[in-house]
Amino acid sequence: MANERRAAGQEPGGQAEGRRASASPRKNKASRDGKGGGRRRPPGDGLRPSAAIVPPQAVAGRALTLVVAIMSFLACITVGAVSVIDEAANAWSGDLVREVTIQIRPAEGVDMQREIDKAIALAEGMPGVGSVRALSDGETRSLLEPWLGGGLDLDTLPVPRLIEVAVDDPDIFPVADLKVAVGREITGGSLDDHSAWTERLASMANAMVIGGIAILALVLWSMALSVIFATRAAMAGNKDVVEVLHFVGAEDTFIAREFQRHFLLLGLRGGIAGGVFACLVFLVLEFAFREGSGIAGADQVDALFGGFSVGLVGYLGVLAIIFIVTVLTAATSRYAVRSHLARLE
């Protein structure tokens, strides 16, 4: 009986062991297939992405963004001012070449009115002339009033009489022929074609444009130096990371691209901020001068520039400055990084 109970007791244990033995391969297979109770790695889970080499939000980065914005603002203001002056100079030159003045000086025994009529007829016969008119006595007195006062008697003063000749087509207007004809046929007559003033205006406009380009170059150069210093500071703050990446075989283009991407976005933000603020300044000044008509200062600016208004060229220049600032910051940082990595080798 005891032997039968032991035999009966061993049979369930053997069956259990058999079942455990038969289950073990399935469990091992499930473990190998990744379906077991062990911890499974998610599909595509490799190394965790490392942090950026250059911290995207750093005090130095925000300060450099402010510097780039200020430099962009100054550059945009320079471009806008140069465009206003250049447009005003072109308008002045266009007005001067479209008008000439015949001057008849009084002389003894000369009928002034007859000479004026002869000069008008002579000018009207020239090609390209639109209209000819002699200034009235009242207009002549108005011209002399600021210097000689009111109540002038033109008959008692040797005041030259002026004839305005409006030119419709300067290309076909023979100004040299008219000058010779006036000097030969009109007693005491001479022609003023304003060429001296035109040359002075052209010289002044060219000087202002050259000065504006020089100021713009200095501003951009200062900004490039600031970016170089900021790049070196960023590399110094991440010196260990940069050197480890360099010595383990990371390509210089990879490291430079990280810095270039950071400073590209930084330059874009700073350039847009400076350009938008400059455009707001242009609009505010234009509104202020338009609303301040009648004030001495505003009237003088209006007489000098024909109204303070930045045209399409000025605003296109602002867009160009934003693009140049963005590209310059990225290229400058890339150059600084490549130079630093070249010294490590």
38-64 tens-digit pLDDT:
444 444 444 344 555 565 555 456 788
11 falls within a domain: no
Distance from C-alpha of 268 to C-alpha of 222, rounded to nearest angstrom:
17
Task: Say how far apart CA 178 and CA 160 lie, in whole Å.
Answer: 19
The region of weakest confidence among 103-107, 246-250, 254-258, 282-286 is: 246-250
Report the predicted TM-score, pTM, of the whole model to 2 decimal places.
0.65
pLDDT tops 60 at residue 27: no
- Indicate whether 136 belongs to any domain: yes
Residues paired with 191 in a beta bridge: 102
Residues 221 and 325 in one domain: yes
| Count of domains for the chain | 2
CB 228, CB 263: distance < 8 Å? no
Does residue 339 sit in the same domain as residue 264?
yes
Half-sphere exposure of 131 (CA within 13 A, CB side): 3
Given this model, what pLDDT does residue 311 score? 82
Judge contact between 201 and 89, C-beta under 8 A: yes
Average pLDDT, the chain: 76
The answer on 228 and 338 residing in a single domain is: yes
Task: Among 43-47, 52-56, 216-220, 292-296, name the one with the lowest average pLDDT.
Answer: 43-47
Judge if 277 and 225 occupy the same domain.
Answer: yes
Residue 136 burial class via C-beta count within 10 angstroms: exposed 0-12, middle 13-18, buried 19 and up: exposed
One domain for residues 171 and 222: no
Answer yes or no: is 35 within a domain: no
225 pLDDT higher than 80: yes
- Please check whether residue 176 lies inside any domain of the structure: yes
Amino acid identity at 332: T
Last residue of a domain, one of 187, 212, 245: 187
**How many beta carbons lie within 10 A of that of residue 241, not counting itself?**
15
**82 and 119 inside one domain:** no
Could you tell me if residue 50 is inside a domain?
A: no
**Rounded-to-integer distance, Cα 224 and Cα 278, Å:** 20
Look at residue 94 in the predicted model and tell me its pLDDT.
Answer: 74
Give the H/E segment covering residue 213. Answer: helix 195-237
Q: Are residues 89 and 111 in the same domain?
A: no
Establish if 295 belongs to a structural domain.
yes
What is the Cα–Cα distance from 107 to 304, expressed in whole angstroms?
Answer: 36
The answer to whether position 84 is within a domain reads yes
Residue 158 shares a structural domain with residue 284: no
245 and 331, same domain (yes or no) = yes
Q: Which of 187, 206, 239 is the last residue of a domain?
A: 187
Question: By residue range, what is the domain housing residue 311?
Answer: 59-93+198-344
